[in-house]
Chain A
Amino acid sequence: MSRVLASSAPARAALNGASLNASITRIVRPAMVKASKITNQKRDHSACCGPHLRSYATHSDLPSSEQNLSFVLKKKGEVTFEDRPIPKLTSPYDVLVNVRWTGICGSDVHYWQHGAIADFVVRAPMVLGHESSGTVTEVGEKVTSVKVGDRVAMEPGIPCRRCPRCKEGKYNLCVDMRFAATPPIDGTLAKYYVLPEDFAYKLPENMSFEEGALMEPLSVGVHINKQAGTKQGQTVVVFGAGPVGLLCATVAKAYGANKIVVVDINEERLAFAKKYAATHTIVSKKQSAAETAAQIIKECDIVEGADVVMDATGAEPCIQAGIHVLRAGGTYVQGGMGKPDIMFPIGAAGAKELNIKGSFRYDAHDYETAIGLVTSGRVSVKELVTKKVKFTDAEEAFEDVAASRGIKILIEGVPDRRDSATA
């Protein structure tokens, strides 16, 4: 059950600097209205390499009557804030987390803009978001691995634990997976979120909440590299310099790959990739896939072909070029999602005896690996955060991601005022 946030007009005005009728559902607002709220911040963050902090007011301007303020996708194109009941623990092994930071993924934006991804259709209002970190505020009576006050990275997909895939450890392939912000399961853009203790990973002392929120996409990068079998000494080509492509590249680097080539159409993203993890970058051109492959091999001084290709674009020309740039016996991993059916160079795949795998989310030990990579300093994720916004400015963050502005935008959580340390 949810009710539209109903508070006094003055409180609302304080919230977002515009006067609103409390009962009106907010719709996608034109960019112009947004700009009037923002004072002296540049809108285009695509070239920046460091956290771009807005100066935001303290949290005292949030109405204190709320229990569990949530950012809800009512239906395609329509988002709103709702106060929902604080979720209850579902088992003695659950924990309640006060969400501190949430990153946005292309899938969140896609549900907002299109209302569906493949067979997952938004049929009822759904809380968005799934890349989060937070503080444990309550633990079930049998919880032993975390305690109240612990800072955790949150793994947002809970599998059934009973099916053959779960029992193999490939729980990302569970037929009954309940994944945050994949309909009909609510996401983490709320004050509180409940999850089983074994899906809440304690953050080491030297990791911030912001880095904790990056563990979800980093786990995706870890999993893609795991599927690829990336190892020391290899030549790796990554198609796509968005957040996932960048994270694939940096994990490959941590795993000892000698040559990491990142390919994109966006030169600013490539410039960032070069500073971040790539040894070489290639600007994609309109040419045949074979020509692209030849260009990569020539310009990056690759003998025979790449050992590994990871696609983080889903774009047909990239997929084709990826197959052609591999050496015989190489490995191709499809991480990106674009057109469901494409023209695929099956002849080359067969004759070159390629290993071709899909990669979907993450499975056993990927989150621990991700945290281990960051806490040990082998991977750095801080520089991917290009903007941070307040919870009530969540929609702005969605618009930025939709327009490919910046790299990773984080939405701040709603603080739990019971814990003064989080204020």
Chain B
Amino acid sequence: MSDQEQDKLKQNPSFVLRAIKDVAFEDRPVPKLRDDHDVRVHIAQTGICGSDVHYWQKGRIGDFILESPIVLGHESAGTVVEVGSAVKYVKVGDRVAVEPGVPCRPDTIFAATPPWDGTLSKYYIVAADYTYRLPDHVSMEQGALVEPVAVAVQITKVANIRAGQTVVVFGCGPIGALCQAVAKAYGATKVIGVDVVQSRLDFAKSFGADGVFMSSRAEAGVDAVEHSENVAALIAKKFNLGDGADVVLECSGAEPCIQAGVFVTKKGGTYVQAGMGKENVLFPITTACIRALNIKGSIRYTTGCYPAAVDLVASGKIDVNRLITNRFKFEQAEEAFELVKAGRSDVLKVIIEGVQ
């Protein structure tokens, strides 16, 4: 049988994580709608997230443990090809961004968090109200970036960022950069990006940040917490933050950044932990107490974030195309994952095209 004929037999090619560090392509049956409110989406583009790479390499994040094969990927956009009989606002042919987490109806599902399959298949089934139409001028690539934009929207929502505020963002990877851009879009007056990699700072300065700061690691023999305090003081001084920033968004998960983040938050300010690194860190708790800080965690997104994200992309307020640094075909998915894993500073968002 020719390759072409063989391809025709494939119903639903999927990129599967079978076990730690063991990925493979499998052909799976075309998934069926589970109820009258579901739609089937032909996935067009999928971005890769650090969590996908983490499950591949480590097989677990917290309590979510890989116990059986799962399809990877969760940052996707595609075209609706089938709708359930009770679906009112979505129709076949609609181009949509897919929100990959559906809570307790009845199970809480998150694509590519074990045991649930992700979106790196030809087709994906999702409840209709978790798809969001993309305006005609928004590409599928931009559609795949809606998910991380939604994460940034949620972080700014948790932080309650308002016009006139000063915001310091630790980490200038995709999430940090997007948080800077969303904060600006929502009216923050001064947004500062912090990182240890110059090229990332350069990107941040051209993307959403008003100013950037090159941080440094503590030298040998220097007390780490004292060093973090000094970094915070330098940031406050360089950008005239006075007592400190109104809001700090920690998007790196790195212990020195977490510490510096607390130290650079003004009295009564808000610190949001979005980055995920070590589960337990040395934390300046007394500073948090004396300054009466509001310290919150942020995870994924809540109701309203996806529509806001689509709007930010569609209106041009955030140019997500600039975050896409690498593109791969579906068959090259493993290569794409290797690239993200390598953690090169010139790589921001890697996307994988869907099965045609």
Which residues of chain A have a CB within 8 Å of any CB of chain B?
A: 93, 142, 161-164, 167-168
Contact = CB atoms under 8 A, between A and B. Distances in A.
Given A164-B303, A164-B304, A93 B127 contact: no
B129 A162 contact: yes
Contact of A162 (B106, B127, B304): B127
Contacts, number: 13
Contacts of B105: 161-162
Interface string B278-322: 000000000000000000000000011000000000000000000
Nearest to A142: B106
A259 B29 CA distance: 66
A142 B104 CA distance: 13
B157 interface: no
Interface string B33-44: 000010000000
A93 B304 contact: no
Contacts of A142: 106
Most buried by B among A163, A167, A168: A167
Nearest to A164: B303
Contacts of B106: 93, 142
Interface of B: 37, 105-106, 127, 129, 303-304
A224 to B, nearest CB: 24
Chain A binding surface SS class: loop
5 contacts: A142-B106, A162-B37, A162-B105, A163-B129, A168-B304
A162 B38 CA distance: 12
B96 to A, nearest CB: 16
A162 B105 CA distance: 9
Contact of B303 (A93, A161, A168): A168
A195 to B, nearest CB: 15
Contacts of B37: 162
Contacts of A93: 106
Nearest to B128: A162
Nearest to A162: B129
A168 B129 CA distance: 14
A162 B303 CA distance: 11
Nearest to A169: B303
B236 to A, nearest CB: 35
A199 to B, nearest CB: 14
Contacts of A163: 129
A161 B128 CA distance: 13
Contacts of A168: 303-304
A216 B214 CA distance: 59
Contacts of A167: 303
Nearest to B35: A91
A339 to B, nearest CB: 35
Contacts of B304: 164, 168
Contacts of B127: 162
A163 B304 CA distance: 11
A325 B105 CA distance: 45
Nearest to B106: A93
Nearest to A91: B106
Contacts of A164: 303-304
Given A161-B105, A162-B105, A163-B129, 7 more contacts: A93-B106, A142-B106, A162-B37, A162-B129, A164-B303, A164-B304, A167-B303
Contacts of A162: 37, 105, 127, 129
B252 to A, nearest CB: 30
A197 to B, nearest CB: 10
A164 B106 CA distance: 17
A93 B303 CA distance: 24
Contacts of B303: 164, 167-168
B54 to A, nearest CB: 28
A164 B129 CA distance: 9
A161 B106 CA distance: 10
A145 to B, nearest CB: 12
Most buried by A among B37, B105, B303: B303
A251 to B, nearest CB: 28
A161 B127 CA distance: 12
A142 B106 CA distance: 10
A380 B106 CA distance: 35
A48 B127 CA distance: 53
A296 B157 CA distance: 42
B297 to A, nearest CB: 19
A266 to B, nearest CB: 43
A90 to B, nearest CB: 12
A156 to B, nearest CB: 21
A99 to B, nearest CB: 25
Contacts of B129: 162-163
